[in-house]
Amino acid sequence: MKYDEEKFNSAVEEYKKAIGNVESKSFLVIFDKDNKEAFFSLAPLSRAIHELDGDMHVAGIGEDKDSLDAVREVWRTYKE
C-alpha cells in the first residue's frame, strides 16, 4: 500500500504539538472498527506518541463490546 509520506509526517508533527509532553505515559485508544478514518489515524498517532516516549495501546471494537468492557476493567485495575 502506498501512502503520502509527507502527509504522514505532517500528521505526526500535528499530533506531537497537540499532545505535548507524554514521556512515560500510556494511552488507551479505542476505536470503532467500521470507522476507516479512525483506523488510518492510528499510524501517525502511534508514531507521535512513540517519538515522545509514551506508550499506546489500541482496541478496535465492533458490535460486540464485551471485549471493550474487559479492557476498561484491566485499565481501571491498573490505575488503582
Element spanning 58, H or E = strand 55-61
CA distance 4 to 1: 10
Better-predicted residue by pLDDT, 43 or 73 = 43
Please tell me which of 5-19, 32-46, 48-62 the model is most confident about, judged by mean pLDDT: 5-19
Per residue in 62-80, pLDDT tens? 776 666 677 677 767 766 6
3-state DSSP call for residue 26? strand
55 CB-near residues (< 8 Å, 6+ apart): 25, 26, 27, 49
**0.75 surpassed by pTM:** no
